[in-house]
Amino acid sequence: MSIFDRDEFNDRLFFPRTDASPPPAGARDRVVDVDGASLHVRLHAAPAAAPTLLLFHGNGEVVADYDRAAAQFARAGVALAVMDYRGYGQSTGTPTLRTVIADARRVADAVRPRVVMGRSLGGVAAHELHARPTAGMAGVILESALFDLHGLIARRGLVPPASFSDDERATFEPATKLALGRLPLLVLHGERDELIAPSEARSALAAAATAEADKSLVMIPRRGHNDVSAADSYWTALAAFIARVVDSST
């Protein structure tokens, strides 16, 4: 059995919160049914004709954590949609790394985003959609996202295998996914991130097969893993990327 399918790995990886809250004004909730679970998605309003950005949030977060940020995403030019993983928020089921990746495609098919964004653990969902985009996707954003699978396992207090199988590389390895994709890519990372090292962001950019002119890394000064979005430069970079990829795809 793959280490990624073992209970001891997934039990140490995920920190589900079961917070439930009604959608704020201008937002609505919907449910996307997947194999063995129902996933909660919150969609926020934005100015007319704004494309949708589907965000896969970080570990220990839920959709409601982004209710206040929705207005900032709207100013950046997109309508924000956020999905809760299995066992998080109002989503049912039990989370595993494999289901996060598989569910990402089902939710993207339902939401039909123009831009996909993965924050921290949510990067694994964004990697998958970068490799195999759904119809209409124009760009991918990685925020504080992991790249090194061995490091992910070691941070769980487990010993990584000497090598990964072909299935593990194809299913889980960010480098494999990034090498398959061609969509424009923006990598945002805090220069003081002590959880996922900035070197992982640089490795992700290097691994991406996206044309050099269409991929960029923005290191956010004086920010760590969880406060990158508090910087003005974060929103400037995000808005510029959205404007560029949406304009070029219309």
Q: What is the CATH number of the domain that holds 193?
A: 3.40.50.1820
How many domains are there within the chain?
1
Return the number of other C-beta atoms located less than 10 Å from residue 57's C-beta. 24
How many CA atoms, within 13 angstroms, populate the side-chain half-sphere of residue 216?
14
Place of tokens 């919150």: 42
pLDDT at 49: 85
Domain residues for the domain of 198 are 3-248
**Distance separating alpha carbons of residues 40 and 42, to the nearest angstrom:** 7
Tell me the CB-side half-sphere exposure of residue 246, using CA atoms within 13 A. 19
pLDDT (tens, 9 = 90+) of the chain, 250 residues, equals 999 999 999 999 999 999 889 999 999 999 999 999 999 999 999 988 899 999 999 999 999 999 999 999 999 999 999 999 999 999 999 999 999 999 999 999 999 999 999 999 999 999 999 999 999 999 999 999 999 999 999 999 999 999 999 999 999 999 999 999 999 999 999 999 999 999 999 999 999 999 999 999 999 999 999 999 999 999 999 999 999 999 876 6
pLDDT at residue 250 in the model: 60
CA of 67: how far to CAs of 45, 46, 91, 196, 211, in Å?
Answer: 11, 13, 17, 25, 34
From its phi and psi, is residue 152 left (phi > 0), alpha (psi between -120 and 50) or beta? Answer: alpha
Q: Is 140 exposed, middle or buried (0-12, 13-18, 19+ CB in 10 A)?
A: buried
List Cβ neighbours of 66 (8 Å cut-off, separation of 6 or more): 42, 55, 57, 80, 82
- Residue 247 is predicted with a pLDDT of 80
- CB neighbours of residue 135 within 10 Å: 7
| pTM of the complete model | 0.97
Q: Can you give the pLDDT at residue 249?
A: 64
Q: What SS3 class is residue 11?
A: helix
Q: Tell me the C-alpha to C-alpha distance, in Å, between residue 14 and each of 29, 85, 126, 129, 218.
A: 23, 10, 17, 21, 27
